[in-house]
């Protein structure tokens, strides 16, 4: 049986084993996918031990940069992101790394939600690893503009410079912006603390602006509740992104593309029911 895992710390809460099990059942693949708690400060040894028998792994917080450093071969988007969330075994004990987060986000927005990104004004909140991982795929969609807003403006400016060759990307502080945009994507962890990034409600054009929170939960996130209260046309959480990025990894590993819609519906129902 082919073995796969998701590395993280903590990791028991991960939905990835269920997602990949449903993908495998749907496509007739014989594989085992489990969680793997990696010790803080010793990800490399844990990963290398797994890959003595395993074929692939997903990587979540806080090990994406550790995984990046462990790879012998990287996709261009992983190289840009400086982080890896998908590892694949290569001959001779070598490792291939990719970052599928941005592809998952774009697919959830464009395919699942039917939101076009081309020619749109996008505001991306945050300047951490989550933002870095999605910038290249977002810019590849051809937005009219993409502004990275962050509490520490210097971090946003650094990212804007790093990705400037890929499209019209700029940096801003949270409180610099007032004019409405087409799409707001929250890539901060504010929702985990029950907070909302300190941005003006005038950024939402009622009935027009689409708001997306990379976080998700059983109830709407604080950011989604804030967006809905100010008239956003659509409020989405990151659950679809989770499923879509997993589908990219599954397709790479198994050579068959799963249908994400029934898996997303099944997991959403489970999330609601608890």
Q: What is the pLDDT of residues 41-99, one digit of tens each?
A: 899 999 999 999 999 999 998 999 999 999 999 999 999 999 999 999 999 999 999 99
Q: What is the pLDDT of residue 68?
A: 96
Q: What is the pLDDT of residues 125-180, one digit of tens each?
A: 999 888 999 999 999 999 999 999 999 999 999 999 999 999 999 999 999 999 99
Confidence of residue 274 (pLDDT cuts 50, 70, 90): low
Do 21 and 43 have their domain in common? yes
Do 110 and 75 have their domain in common? no
Expressed as residue numbers, the domain containing 217 is 102-237
CA 28 to each of CA 45, 140, 172, 217: distance values in angstroms, whole numbers, following the listed order: 32, 33, 48, 30
Do 94 and 106 have their domain in common? no
Do 60 and 112 have their domain in common? no
Do 94 and 165 have their domain in common? no
Do 164 and 191 have their domain in common? yes
Q: What is the pLDDT of residue 271?
A: 74
Q: What is the pLDDT of residue 82?
A: 93
Share of the chain above pLDDT 90, in %: 91
The answer on pLDDT for 269 being more than 90 is no
The residues that are catalytic are 64
Question: Which residues fall within 8 angstroms of residue 232, CB to CB, at 6 or more apart?
Answer: 184, 204, 206, 209, 210, 211
Return the CATH number at 42. 3.40.50.10860
End-to-end C-alpha distance for the chain, whole angstroms? 31
Task: Write phi, then psi, for 131 (nearest 5 degrees).
Answer: -70, -45
| Total domains, the chain | 2
Do 136 and 201 have their domain in common? yes
Return the CATH number at 202. 3.40.50.720
Determine how β-strand 86-89 pairs with β-strand 56-59.
Answer: antiparallel
Bond before 10 cis per omega within 30 degrees: yes
Q: Give the chain's largest Cα–Cα span.
A: 56
Do 160 and 205 have their domain in common? yes
């Amino acid at each position: 049986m082919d073995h796969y895992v998701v590395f993280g710390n903590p990791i028991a809460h991960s939905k990835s084993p269920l997602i990949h099990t449903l993908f495998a059942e749907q496509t007739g693949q014989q594989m085992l996918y489990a969680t793997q708690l990696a010790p803080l400060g010793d990800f490399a040894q844990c990963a290398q031990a797994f890959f003595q028998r395993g074929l692939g792994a997903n990587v979540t917080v806080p090990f994406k940069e550790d995984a990046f450093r462990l790879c012998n071969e990287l996709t261009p988007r992983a190289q840009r992101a400086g982080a890896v969330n998908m590892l694949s075994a290569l001959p001779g004990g070598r490792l291939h790394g990719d970052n599928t987060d941005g592809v998952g986000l774009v697919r959830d927005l464009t395919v699942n939600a039917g939101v076009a990104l081309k020619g749109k004004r996008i505001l991306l909140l945050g300047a951490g690893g989550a933002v870095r991982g999605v910038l290249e795929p977002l810019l590849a969609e051809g937005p009219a503009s993409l502004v990275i807003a962050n509490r520490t403006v210097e971090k946003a400016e650094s990212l804007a410079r790093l990705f400037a060759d890929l499209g019209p990307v700029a940096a801003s502080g949270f409180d610099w912006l007032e004019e409405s945009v087409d799409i707001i994507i929250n890539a901060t962890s504010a929702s985990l603390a029950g907070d909302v990034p300190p941005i003006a409600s005038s950024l939402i054009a009622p009935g027009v602006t689409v708001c997306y929170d990379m976080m998700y939960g059983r109830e709407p996130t604080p950011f989604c509740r804030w967006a809905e209260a100010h008239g956003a046309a659509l409020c989405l959480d990151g659950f679809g992104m989770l499923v879509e990025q997993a589908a990219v990894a599954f397709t790479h590993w198994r050579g068959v593309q799963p249908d994400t819609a029934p898996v997303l519906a099944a997991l959403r129902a489970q999330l609601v029911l608890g």
